[in-house]
Amino acid sequence: MKYSLIFPGQGSQSLGMLSDLADNFASVKATFEEASDVLGFDLWKLTQEDQDGLNQTQNTQPAMLAAGYATYRVLSNEMNLSPVCMAGHSLGEYTALVAAGSLGFADGIQLVRKRAELMQSAVPVGVGAMAAILGLDDETVVKVCANYPGEGVVEAVNFNANGQVVIAGNKESVDATCDLMKAAGAKRAVVLPVSVPSHCSLMNNAATVFANAVQNVNFKIGSVDVLHNVDAKIAIDVDDMRAKLVAQLHKPVLWTGTVQAMHSMGVEKLIESGPGKVLTGLTRRIEKALTVNAVLDTISVAATLEEIK
C-alpha cells in the first residue's frame, strides 16, 4: 500500500494530548525532553497541565512540532516506514521536514518558536482575526475578499477542503466580510479563536525578519519528499525550501491542492501523525478515494501499522 504521512498544525492542540502514547512509548517523553532542553522550560508539563499556556502561539507551535514528531517516532520505531511523501498543514510543514530528515529537531523547535514570536508581534492582539467560510467555492471566497469595499486587509489564506476556506486580516475587515460571504451564499462564517491572522499580508514584515532566521538554520534534502503548502510542490533544493517556508508565513496554505497532489502521486492512504483529527476530516472532503488514519493513541498506532505492513 502506498501511503503518506501528514502532520497537523496549530489548532489541533489539546490539554493532555499524547498522554496515552506517553504511557506506552518512552520515545514520546524523550522527544519532549529534547524540546524542553532547547526551550528552557518543561514543554510536556505545559501540554498536560496548562491550557492557557498551551494556547499561546509561542508555546503552541513548538508543542505541536514535538507532538507530531513524537508520534512519528512511535510509528518509525515500531516499523521501517517507507512513505511516498510527507506534508504538514501550516506549522505541520516543519514537522514533516523534521521527520523527513531535512531539518534537525532542535533546530526545528528553535525555528518555530521564533516564527511564533514574530507572528504574534507582527499584529497586536485584537487587531487581527481569522474566520472559516463554509459552503462557498474557492473562487467566490477569493472574489468577495478582493471586492471588500472597506479599509484594512482581508484575504483567503487557507484552502482547506472543497467548501471550506479560511480568511484572515484586520478584525473589522474580517467581521464585515463574513457578512458579505453569507450574502454570497455561505452556509456559515465562523470566527476562529486565534490571536494571529496567519498567512496573510499582515505577516509581510514578519516574513522579512523570518527570512534571516531561516538562512541561519541548516537544511538539507531529506530522505523523503515533502510537499510544501505554498505551491503543493517539492522543493528543488535547500534554497527553494527556505524560500517556500518564508513565503508560507504570508501566503495561502494550499491544502486541498496538496492532498490532490499526493493522490496523483499514487498515494492510497494518508496517516495523520499527531494530536486531533482535523486533517483526517479534511481529507475525506477533498478526495474520497483516499483512506486516512489519525494516529493519536496506542490503539490507532496498532491499527495503522497493521494496515500498512
What is the residue whose three cell numbers read 515500531? 78
Q: Which of 4, 36, 90, 300 is catalytic?
A: 90
Is 195 catalytic? The answer is no
Contacts of 112 by beta carbon, 8 Å cutoff, 6+ apart: 61, 62, 65, 91, 94
Residue 31 three-state SS: helix
Count, in order, helices (H) and strands (E) of the chain: 14, 9
Q: What distance lies between CA 158 and its chain's CA centroid?
A: 10
Using alpha carbons, select from 61, 178, 176 the residue that is nearest to residue 120.
Answer: 61
Q: Which of 89, 199, 228, 250 is catalytic?
A: 199
Is 102 catalytic? The answer is no
CB 25 within 8 A of CB 76: no
Element (H, E) at 269: strand 269-273
Which residues are the active-site residues? 90, 199
